[in-house]
Amino acid sequence: MKPDALQGYLRLQPLSAEKSIPTEEECRALWLRLGVPDEVTVHLRMVAELARILAVYLKRVGLRFNMDLIMAGGYLHDLVKGPPDHAGVAERILRQMGYAGVSGMVLQRDPMKSDGELDEADLVFLAGHCIEEDRLGSFDGICQAPLNPHRYRSENAGQTSSTNRAGIIKDQVEKLLGLSVKGIVRKHRRGILTVSVQSIRNVYLLVQGAVGFKADGEYLKAQELPLCLEGVHQAEALRDELQDVPLSNIYCSDLKSAVETAAIVAEPHLLEPRVRAGLREINAGEWCGSASAEVHQFHSGQIGHGMMHFRPHGGETLFECTARVIPAFYDILNSTFGNMVIVGHPVVNRIVLCQVLGLSLERLFELDQSYGRANHIYCDGPDMKLKSMNGDDRPYNLVN
């Protein structure tokens, strides 16, 4: 922490009143306000990602974790460096700002609890020990550390004690999983390293799989429409296409078809899809439940009648849809790091692509967005380039 930031930390005001766990965006704001060096934020992002991966594995064997707490703990566990009691300073800062839920994550404490169960702080501590500076550690210290909890308790705080504590946690994790921590990190190494790159990343904007429009002859609302068998196959094809891409996050709308598509795509990456209502498909009113091609024909036919402000009965205008989709898209970009997947819908994705390409929204329906297809957006800071659209590596031929 910069000296002036340290002297003035007591004057900081909460970023989120009465919210005990900060969001990713709030953690990043804290880094800026406290002058955390870039090389430290790289380390923090990698620790948070590794801790999250370990938690996903452990949840598969029945353990429960607060994933938001793990991510916040990873982002903030080394918030302050320099002062003799840097952990205590960081803890007091977080408590004062209303983040009591994560403040304890920055303190050194005994990991051996009476019930023997691991918690979020244990995983963040182990992940931090595995990551050295901005690189993945060699694991030599952990693998050779004596796994003796009595020795750990009897030692003063220091490198040996820290290494032994990490060894204790590592032993617990491996015993529960039947897997080595070293093997897990090796498998996910590319994804962990990806989050260390702040500005350059790839965004894969997917169209949900095809939906079934009726169930037992009953009408279903748009948010209830599930994937049909073809849609499941399309989602599985997207999963196979992206299984070797290192991903840090997967987002989707709150419509059932998008959630199901995202869950299938997320399987190889051990990610939990994050739902954003702002990405929901346009409300077509009385046309809800109709095929995408029919909605396309309905809206595009209104070009001569003010397409952007035309409101179908019971629905929303394209302008209103755009006003919620674009802020949601940029909020996701600005609050995350690394490669990601966003599972959207035909109209929603066209709105995003118009933004990326700099096209007028009146040309929205010139862009093909078929069920179960992918768009690849390359981001370098605020600059975005469409590398492929709807599975076509020559997207500009479709819009020039």
- What does the domain layout of the chain look like in residue ranges? 3-193, 199-398
Q: Classify 3-193 by CATH class.
A: mainly alpha
**Predicted pLDDT of residue 1:** 44
Q: Tell me: domain 199-398, CATH 3.40.50.1240, correct?
A: yes
pLDDT of residue 220: 47
pLDDT value, residue 206:
97
Which pLDDT value is given to residue 265?
A: 97
Q: Is 377 within 8 Å of 386 (Cβ atoms)?
A: yes
Q: What's residue 166's pLDDT?
A: 86
Q: Is residue 20 a contact partner of residue 102, using CB atoms and an 8 Å limit?
A: yes
pLDDT value for 5: 44
Instruction: Say what the pLDDT of residue 2 is.
Output: 45
Which parts of the chain register pLDDT below 70?
Answer: 1-19, 81-86, 107-116, 132-163, 196-199, 213-223, 285-307, 313, 393-400
Query: What pairs with residue 376 in β-bridges?
Result: 204, 388
pLDDT digits (tens, 9 = 90+) for 186-222: 888 877 877 766 567 899 999 999 987 654 444 445 5
The CA distance from 244 to 189, in Å, is 12
